[in-house]
Amino acid sequence: MELVKPDIGLLFWMTTCFIILLFLMKKYAWGPILAALHERERGIQEALDGAEGAKKEIAEAASKVEQMLSEGKAEKEALMKLAKEELMEYKNGEQQKINTQIALQMQTVKEEIEQQKRAAVSELKNKVAELSIEIAEKIIKKELRDQSAHNELIKNNVEDLELN
């Protein structure tokens, strides 16, 4: 029975001391400790969040770089294509120009040849006429008897020459 009978002395001391302990612990121990723990946990959480954010940013930057690279690549390809096309066009144009020029020159040359040919022919004709006249002269000089028969002959000869 002694065991379950509380002592007034111990009850008194326990109540007093425990209340004092509670007060002192609350003020000097638990307050700062819990505040510091909370502060630290908050710090850790912030650091974690920060790290997460940084990771996201890095990923974003990487994807941006990737995008820029691919864009650059596409641009380069487009440029190359354009350049090729332009080159082709230029080449074609140049070729055409050359061709026209050649054709033009050929034309000129042909015309010149034609002209020369005509000139030569006319000269030849003149020469032939001269020659014919000379021949006729000679013939006339030599044989002035049968003049009409000879004229006929000359005429035929000249015509033959003209056909050439």
Judged by the rule CB under 8 A, the positions of this chain that interact with another protein are 2-15, 17-18, 20-22, 24-26, 28-37, 39-40, 43
Contact 135, 155 (CB under 8 A): no
Contact 142, 105 (CB under 8 A): no
- Rounded to a whole number of angstroms, the minimum distance from the CB of residue 41 to another protein is 9
Q: Which is nearer to another protein, 18 or 90 (CB)?
A: 18
Contact 154, 132 (CB under 8 A): yes
- Rounded to a whole number of angstroms, the minimum distance from the CB of residue 57 to another protein is 24
The sign one gets for the Cα dihedral 32, 34, 40, 42 is: negative
According to DSSP, residue 30 is labeled: I
- Rounded to a whole number of angstroms, the minimum distance from the CB of residue 36 to another protein is 4
Q: Which is nearer to another protein, 32 or 72 (CB)?
A: 32
Q: Which is nearer to another protein, 9 or 145 (CB)?
A: 9
